[in-house]
Chain A
Amino acid sequence: MKGEKCNTLAALATAMSSGEVETVDLTHTLDSDFPVIVLPPEFGQCAPFRAEVVSRYDERGPGWYWQNISMCEHTGTHFDAPIHWISGKDLPNASVDAIPATAFVRPVCVIDCSKECAENEDFLLTPEFIQAWEKQHGQIPAGDWVLLRSDWSRRSSAAYLNMREDGAHSPGPSADAVKFLVEERDILGFGTETVGTDAGQAAHFSPPYPAHHLFHGAGKYGLQCLRNLDQLPPTGAILVCPPLKIKNGSGSPLRVLALVERASK
């Protein structure tokens, strides 16, 4: 038994060394100018990333450089815990510090909607679209992460948030798609390239913000502001996404990685 386990990891290590298994970085750089979600001004706001130099080989510390950083739990590439939303507030193990660590290293399915999103900035992922994808790649296994590839991460600045007077315009799942993924597929969590797991216009959906409301209400997790999803296969990759262990944390900025078999590309 002991020998078998060692062999698995040894095989992985060998595959990684040889390049057979590649590590893909799905994370944006934490940059003070990276867009954050915008709420109506009378609500509390998501703090952008900020860094203040503590010392930089100067009179404040002659031999070392370090910074104090500040941000919201939901700034940059980040993880959403169920407790983030009111629908998940009473669930067990719903804050980042309590989520079992197994959730942070799991297989991932990637649904490519990039072509549709390029044509329609308000594209909505539907159960039908998912089922069509499954016809090609097989049914989404329970306990997997599901990522929506929109290529939205290639947009920058104003085009990324795509704010207009009637709010943001960006793709996301329909309420039915969320219900389908929860009830029919029991996925582990859902991730997007956009600033939230919900579509830009999701405030007007029923229920509002269905991805937040329904996923978190069902104890599912979220990942936002991902990038490089075009480098992932539809299935077969392993997602590595451990958030910071913040006491009662609703989420956390994090480094998201994927292990990808070269042969599967």
Chain B
Amino acid sequence: MTELLQRPPKKDPQKRTVLPTTPPSARSRKAIAFSTAAAEGRLALQTCAECDHVIYPARELCPKCWSMDLQWQDIPDGGELIAETTLRTSVNTYFRERMPWRIGTVRLDAGPMVLAHIHGDVGEYERVRMIARTDKSGQGVLMALPEKETANMADDKQLRTLTCDPKHRRVLVTDGRTQLGQCTVNALAKAGASKIFVGIAREWRPYDGSAELAAVSGVELMPLDITDTISVNELAAEIGGKTDILINTAEHVRPGSAMQRHGILTARDEMETNYFGLMRLIQAFGPGMRGRGADGDNSACAWVNLLSVYALSNWSVFGTTTASQAAAYSLSQCLRGEFAGSGVKVVNVLFGPLEDSWRQPLPPPKVTPKRLADAIVHALRQGIENVTLGPVAEDIVRRFRDDPFVLERELMQAPGGQAV
């Protein structure tokens, strides 16, 4: 069993904050496809389309039959530890700071031998369950976990470098006025977050659920309006240095296409929240979080952006809102680049239509705010960076992977309630 992670002590104000270092980030183009699957929490390896040989490390050619038709496919996660070592020295500063470090050779049930990080609860030569996740460099790695759940398994030192567990961490939820924001707060409290700062814009306007929200353990309501630079900066000045996870639940959604809109004010409001709001948060909270990526057990570890799946391709029914979401998605990619090297993950959740007032006339299936909130916390605990949530989002992402230009045309033909 893993030793239970204790709540981290208060920070010693006389000590310099440990600066983030990272594991090696260089990868070949082929291996980046592995990282891409790992970012989604999927274990995918190249599989030869002609002879079914499963291939690792990533190659250009099947070494068995010389077919170049290699497809990335999810593979069974079983395996067996056949050799292991505990590294006690490393040429890489990141690992050197975290020695000893357990690695081993695993024979995957799918065939290949892989080198992997090994969870502390895996016994010698035992069967293991493999996961692929992005590490602090942002690249995909393999880790062998015990085949069956063990006590405090998530608290394993090496596993925690791959996850963004809210346990004992301090989280900012940027908008607590909505059901989504409140469900997120509840899910975080359940996951053991030590403090949940909840942004409340326009405190002078009452909102549903305010009393219940204030009563959640660990919650601290903070004035925050992400459309207001001063408000964002003031809150960052107060809590920016102890925000370990930021979850941007603020969104401004209105139905309507460009020509259905009379003037640009609604579109500007959408941009103010969805795009400039994110930008204000990045400018105010980003540098502090980037600097705290290795700050102990409650280091800064994740930034969560919630995006409509139509950020990938415009749906004219919510034409200008999704345009602002596309801008936000692009900015989120920018943030991921800016966080590279900090160990802070950018988690993008692409979700289908939400069960809320602005999407009320849309037909099912829709995603309830609670389901979205649970998905956020699940992604954090698992260390997953890219989440696609709900049947509509899954459908759009699948079509997007197939051919984004075909999807664009398909969405043009879907002016009504059903997206595709």
Is A158 interfacial (CB 8 A cutoff)?
yes
Contacts of B206 in A (CB 8 A): 158, 163-164
Known: A158-B205, A158-B206. Contact between A44 and B265, CB under 8 A? yes
Interface residues of B in 201-231 (CB under 8 A from A): 202-206, 223, 225, 227-231
Contacts of A157 in B (CB 8 A): 203-204
Given A44-B265, A44-B266, CB of A50 within 8 Å of CB of B228: yes
The closest CB in chain B to the CB of A53 belongs to: B229
Confirm or deny: A104 has a beta carbon within 8 angstroms of a beta carbon on chain B: no
Taking the closest CB of chain A, its distance from the CB of B401, in whole angstroms, is: 36
Q: Is B269 an interface residue (CB 8 A)?
A: yes
Contact indicator A160/B225 (Cβ below 8 Å): no
Q: Is the CB of B265 within 8 A of A161?
A: no
CA distance A157 to B225 in the complex (A): 14
CB-nearest residue of chain B to A155: B204
Residues of B near A158 (CB, < 8 A) are 203-206
| Chain B residue total in the interface (Cβ 8 A) | 16
Q: In the bound complex, how far is the Cα of B227 from the Cα of A45, in angstroms?
A: 14
Tell me the A145-197 residues at the B interface (CB within 8 Å). Answer: 156-158, 160-161, 163-164
Per-residue contact bits, chain B 158-197, to A (CB 8 Å; 1 contact, 0 not) = 0000000000000000000000000000000000000000
Minimum CB–CB distance from B228 to chain A (whole Å) comes to 4
Given contacts A32-B228, A50-B229, A52-B229, whether A160 and B269 have CB atoms under 8 Å apart is no
In whole angstroms, how far apart are the Cα atoms of A33 and B235 in the complex? 13
Interface residues in B58-76 by Cβ distance below 8 A to A read: none
Q: Tell me the smallest distance from the CB of B326 to a CB of chain A, in Å.
A: 23
Kindly report which residue of chain B lies nearest to residue A158, judged by CB atoms.
B204
A residues 51-106 with Cβ under 8 Å of B? 51-53
- Taking CB atoms, residues of chain A closer than 8 Å to B205 are 35, 38, 158, 161, 163
Taken together as a complex, chains A and B put the C-alpha atoms of A52 and B279 apart, in Å, by 13
Give A32-52 interface residues, CB cut-off 8 Å to B.
32-33, 35, 38, 44-45, 47-48, 50-52
With a CB–CB cut-off of 8 A, which chain A residues contact B265?
44-45, 47
Assembly CA distance A33 to B202 (angstroms): 7
CB-CB under 8 A from B269, the residues of chain A are: 45
Q: Write out the residue numbers on chain B whose beta carbons fall within 8 Å of the beta carbon of A33.
A: 202-204, 223, 225, 228, 231
> How long is the Cα–Cα vector from A164 to B225 in the complex, in angstroms?
21
Report the bound CA distance from A44 to B266 in whole Å. 7
CB contacts under 8 Å to A, within B135-150, are: none
A51–B230 CA distance with the chains assembled, in angstroms: 8
Instruction: Across the interface, name the chain B residue whose C-beta is closest to A38.
Output: B205
Q: A44-B265, A44-B266, A161-B204 are in contact. Are A51 and B229 (CB under 8 A)?
A: yes
Q: Which residue of B lies closest to A49 (CB)?
A: B228
Q: Which residue of chain B has its CB nearest to the CB of A165? A: B206
Give B201's nearest chain A residue, CB to CB. Answer: A33
CB-CB nearest in chain A for B280: A52
Chain A residues closer than 8 Å to B266, beta-carbon distance: 44
CA distance A164 to B204 in the complex (A): 11
A165 to chain B, nearest CB (A): 8
Q: Is the CB of A32 within 8 A of B230?
A: yes
Minimum Cβ distance to chain A for residue B359 (Å): 14
Whether B227 contacts A50 by the Cβ 8 Å rule is: yes
Q: Which residue of A lies closest to B233 (CB)?
A: A53
B225–A32 touching, CB < 8 Å:
yes
Contacts of A38 in B (CB 8 A): 205
Distance in Å: Cβ of B44 to nearest Cβ of chain A? 44
8 A-B pairs closest in CB distance: A157-B204, A32-B228, A35-B204, A158-B204, A161-B204, A157-B203, A32-B230, A163-B206
- Apart from A35-B205, A161-B205, list 13 A-B contacts with CB within 8 A: A32-B228, A32-B230, A35-B202, A44-B263, A45-B269, A48-B227, A48-B228, A50-B227, A50-B228, A50-B229, A52-B229, A157-B203, A163-B204
Q: List 20 A-B contacts (CB under 8 A).
A: A32-B225, A32-B228, A32-B231, A33-B223, A35-B204, A44-B266, A45-B265, A45-B269, A48-B227, A48-B228, A50-B228, A50-B229, A51-B230, A156-B204, A157-B203, A157-B204, A158-B204, A160-B204, A163-B206, A164-B206
